[in-house]
Structure 1
Amino acid sequence: MKSKKKVVHFLWILPVLAVLLLIGSVTAYAAMMMSEEKVNLFQVGNLQTKVKEVFTEPTTIKPNESVTKEVSVENTGTVDQFVRVMLQPEIRLENGESTRLLPSKIGEEVLLELNLTDWTLGEDGYYYYLNVLKSGTPNNTTKNLFTEVKLKQDLGLEYHNATFNLLVKVEAINCAKYAYRDAWWQGSTPSSGALEAIDKKLAEHAE
């Protein structure tokens, strides 16, 4: 009889131990989850840019007459960046309710005093800044992309009453290794032309 009672007591002890082990496991898992949530509280770096320009808009711009327009890009965020710029000139002729877009290609109808030392034009139409655009002063602004703009001298009469606009589009990406390839070139590595040279230059500065 005594031996049977011992067995009964032992069987009761097993569920108690199982419950204690279960509670211990739940506590450990909850602590792990707590730790993971704390990691998510860290702030992600802020990626922002702003186009800066020195420009006094004239009433008219005459063919072959230079107008000062200094354009650069400022890093207003909290992380270092690579940047590229797309320039989109537009010469628009409006006549009553109709609008006509006239040819306005850079290097032909539109002439710019470009800085091709710190910037390089890729085959995709973007001008790439060849250095890291740092966050925080004093190095948070690129060198000027261009400093002057003018229209070609021998433009046709249809340009005389047209309106000229120059859109500056900026794209930025962090300096993590090869992030610019994923963001700008669909993950591919250029193997020829200006983009190959740009890639090699940016790769030197990638983190």
Structure 2
Amino acid sequence: MNKKKLTSIITAVTLCSIIVVGGTLAWFTDKGEATNVVTFGNVNIKLEETHEDGTMKEEGLIFKDITPGSVIKKDPTITNIGKNDCYIRAKVAFTEGAAIKLENLDVDTSKWKLSKDGYYYYKELVSKNDKITLFNEVGIPSSIGNSAANSTFNISVEAEAIQSDNFKFDWNSETPWGGTTINAETYVGS
């Protein structure tokens, strides 16, 4: 055999080998796929008070025949019923013209801070199933006169929660939560 013919045969055999090996390798490939499941947590609170029968209920309380100088037992309690830890704030409002003011509430200022935006901010993280109470009683001023006889007023309590993860607030700001819009749990008690 001449050298040219031998080189052509070797080249042909080499090309055939590469084609066969390349084709064979194609049969040994594989593909994998993974699907990641992301489940969001949630922030959810419940606002309740202790009723005369000792049970916690989400409706407000009704007090009758209250006199000046009385102390009303009232305990708006907020429970974190969501899956995530959260921060809590609450706002208390009174019927316009009522002689009752925020200073008539026995809010524990070691746990709650009243901010300039009118909200009480709970100073600690509230974990799942934790319960916190805004106040336990309301003092009726002795200075209320006959003009209040037979009248009524409402004490409205609104509680709001926001996730603790990835949330920063500024205690020195007039709006510590930065104006964040929150969906509130609200009830009005008389």
TM-score, normalised on structure 2? 0.62
What runs of 5+ residues in structure 1 fail to find an aligned partner?
Answer: 92-101, 182-188, 196-207
Instruction: Report the Cα distance in structure 2 between the residues aligned to 1:80 and 1:132, rounded to whole angstroms.
Output: 7
Counterpart residue identity of residue 13, structure 2: K
Q: Which deviations, in whole Å up to 9, do the C-alpha atoms of 1:112-153 show, x marking residues without a partner?
A: 2222221110111111112222324xxx212x3212224543
Give the equivalent residue in structure 2 for 1:117: 110
Q: Is the 8 A contact 1:87 1:166 kept in 2?
A: yes
With over 3 angstroms needed to count, the CA separation of the structure-2 counterparts of 1:148 and 1:190, relative to structure 1, is closer
Give the equivalent residue in structure 1 for 2:181: none
1:141 equivalent to 2:146? Answer: no
Once the two structures are TM-superposed, the CA of residue 70 in structure 1 deviates from its matched residue by 1.7
Give the equivalent residue in structure 2 for 1:47: 43
2:75 aligns with one of 67, 70, 75: 70
With over 3 angstroms needed to count, the CA separation of the structure-2 counterparts of 1:6 and 1:156, relative to structure 1, is farther
Identity across the alignment (%): 21
Once the two structures are TM-superposed, the CA of residue 44 in structure 1 deviates from its matched residue by 4.2
Instruction: Report the Cα distance in structure 2 between the residues aligned to 1:62 and 1:7, rounded to whole angstroms.
Output: 108
* SS of 2:23 mapped into structure 1: helix
Give the equivalent residue in structure 2 for 1:203: none
1:12-161 equivalences under 5 Å are: 12-13=19-20, 16=23, 19-20=26-27, 23-24=29-30, 27-28=31-32, 30=33, 34=34, 37=35, 39-40=36-37, 43-56=39-52, 57-89=62-94, 91=95, 102-104=96-98, 107=101, 111-136=104-129, 140-142=130-132, 144-152=133-141, 153-154=143-144, 157=147, 159-160=148-149
Structure exhibiting the larger radius of gyration computed from Cα positions:
2
1:174 equivalent to 2:163? Answer: yes
* SS of 1:115 mapped into structure 2: coil
Give the superposed CA RMSD.
Answer: 3.7
1:9 equivalent to 2:2? Answer: no
* SS of 1:85 mapped into structure 2: strand
* Runs of at least 4 residues off by over 6 Å: none
Structure holding more strand per residue: 1
Instruction: Report the Cα distance in structure 2 between the residues aligned to 1:50 and 1:172, rounded to whole angstroms.
Output: 10
Counterpart residue identity of residue 173, structure 1: I
Q: Is the 8 A contact 1:86 1:126 kept in 2?
A: yes
Instruction: Report the Cα distance in structure 2 between the residues aligned to 1:107 and 1:194, rounded to whole angstroms.
Output: 21
With over 3 angstroms needed to count, the CA separation of the structure-2 counterparts of 1:194 and 1:15, relative to structure 1, is closer
Structure holding more helix per residue: 1
Instruction: Report the Cα distance in structure 2 between the residues aligned to 1:10 and 1:155, rounded to whole angstroms.
Output: 109
Counterpart residue identity of residue 77, structure 2: S
